[in-house]
Amino acid sequence: MRTTLPVFFGIFIVMALSNTIVPILPFYDKSSIIQGAVYSAYFMGAFVCTLPAGILSDRYGRVPVIRIGLWVTVLAAFLLVVLTGPLLIIIARFIEGAGAGFVVAGSMSYVNSLPDHEKMSGYFMGLLNAGLVAGLVFAGWLASFTLNPAAGIIVFAILSLLPAVISFFIAETGVPEIPKDHNALIPLISEYRWLWYSSIVLIGITGVVTSLYPKFSGYSPESVGIWIAIMSCSTIIAVLVSSRLFLPPVITIRGCAFLMIIAVMISFYSPLGFALLGTLAGIVMICQMTFLSQVRHHQGTAMGLFSTTGYLGMTALPVMAGFIADSAGFFLAFCATALVAITVFLTIRSCECNLQTAN
């Protein structure tokens, strides 16, 4: 319990903090470019630091990595409260993302190493997505209620102190044997290449639809926020249910990839596609974590790669889809996104890896 509290409550707070800035982006600068930079700096920090954090958790243990991530998050949160200049905010967001990368890599490695990792991964991913919704909703409400744009950041910054402080009183438990061979990165990338590819594409697709919808739909920011929250809530339900069903990973991911083709095109005609996309993304993430749980002696590196590829998809695919939308129209952007999902349907079946060689 002493370990699960900072891990599970910590991931909730870290994710909530990451979204508290979204409703108040115009407060920092009127330029869309600056607002985009403030938003994406977090993902860049997480992308850069998640894989190194996973490797470090294999070498030195998960608890130190989680502890570093939680305290870096606290630091970044209070920097966001006191700083005002756009450049300084961008730097603080990068630091926040770096802290999140450490927390995510260490925590996912911890969760996936537990005997009941399927059920625990459902709780973990559920709290992760619940944090995203809470940060988005409460930050906007607090900003309106208190007339202080940073009210949500202040509240969650204070709450982040709890798991950070508790992390000093926990010890590594259930630690697998630290591998003598530290050169696991290249074999893992090669052996699980199609699984990493599925993470980039299928997680990235949710970012594509989220990024295209505000301009494409013409809906108000409040309406778009509601649909994004619905997608996250669908993911929460999906991870909690699928984590108890013991689904065959590769077959399930392949089926979800096919259904994502349909979900993307539904999203072009109706925001109801958001609910289906969120559900499929949740099932995919649980299956991917279940598959990777077989990597016993390099779990930190595996989870670092898993998180890194997800952040890569959330960073790269929306940019490519946005370029297509600007140059050829939104319909072709949605079609191209659906076509990318087809490539996962065709390739993931080749990921029937020899798990013994990856252990």
Distance CA 8, CA 126 (A): 10
Calculate ∠ Cα 115-176-197, nearest 5°: 75
- Evaluate if residue 358 carries a pLDDT over 60: no
pLDDT of res. 303 = 82
Question: What is the chain's alpha carbon radius of gyration, rounded to the nearest angstrom?
Answer: 19
Please name the residues in contact with 301: beta carbons below 8 A apart, sequence gap of 6 or more. Answer: 51, 54, 55, 58, 184, 185, 188, 295
CA-to-CA distance for 31 and 211, rounded, in angstroms? 17
Give the C-alpha distances (Å, rounded to integers) separating 349 from 168, 254, 260, 343, 353: 43, 7, 16, 11, 10
pLDDT digits (tens, 9 = 90+) for 144-163: 788 888 888 999 999 999 99
Q: Are residues 232 and 206 in contact, defined by beta-carbon separation less than 8 angstroms?
A: no
* Residue 295 and residue 358 in contact, taking contact as beta carbons nearer than 8 Å: yes
* Structure-token pair, residue 339: 């076509």
Helix (H) or strand (E) run with residue 103 in it = helix 86-112
Reported as type and span, the H/E element at residue 169 is: none
- pLDDT over 70 percentage in the chain: 89
- Largest interatomic CA distance in the chain: 57
Amino acid at 198: S
Q: Confidence class of residue 296 from pLDDT cuts 50, 70 and 90? A: low
Distance of CA 296 to the CA centre of its chain: 22
- Residues 275, 130: Cα–Cα separation, whole Å: 15
Q: What is the mean pLDDT of residues 274-287?
A: 93
**220 CB burial (10 A radius; 0-12, 13-18, 19+):** exposed
Q: Looking at residues 59-81, what average pLDDT do you find?
A: 91
Return the CATH class of domain 184-359.
mainly alpha
Residue 1 pLDDT exceeds 50: yes
How is 12-75 classified by DSSP, letter by letter? HHHHHHHHHTGGGHHHH-S-HHHHHHHHHHHHHHHHHHHHHHHHHHHHH-HHHHHHHHHHHHHH
Residue-wise pLDDT tens digits, 21-50: 877 777 877 776 777 778 778 888 988 998
pLDDT one-digit tens code per residue, 48-60? 998 899 888 888 8
The reported pTM is 0.77
Rounded distance between C-alpha atoms, residue 74 and residue 195, angstroms: 33
Please check whether residue 62 is in contact with residue 109, taking contact to mean a CB–CB distance below 8 angstroms: yes
Give yes or no for residue 258 having a pLDDT over 90: yes
Whether 305 contacts 288, CB under 8 Å: no
Contacts of 290 (CB under 8 A, 6+ apart): 117, 118, 121, 246, 247, 249
Residue 359: band (very low, low, confident or very high) from pLDDT cuts 50, 70, 90: very low
In one letter, which amino acid is 355?
L
Tell me which CATH code domain 1-169 carries: 1.20.1250.20
**DSSP class of residue 268?**
H
CB atoms within 10 A of CB 153: 25
Delimit the CATH 1.20.1250.20 region(s) of the chain: 1-169, 184-359
- Residue 226: which pLDDT band, with cuts at 50, 70 and 90? confident
Q: How far apart are CA 58 and CA 264, in angstroms?
A: 37
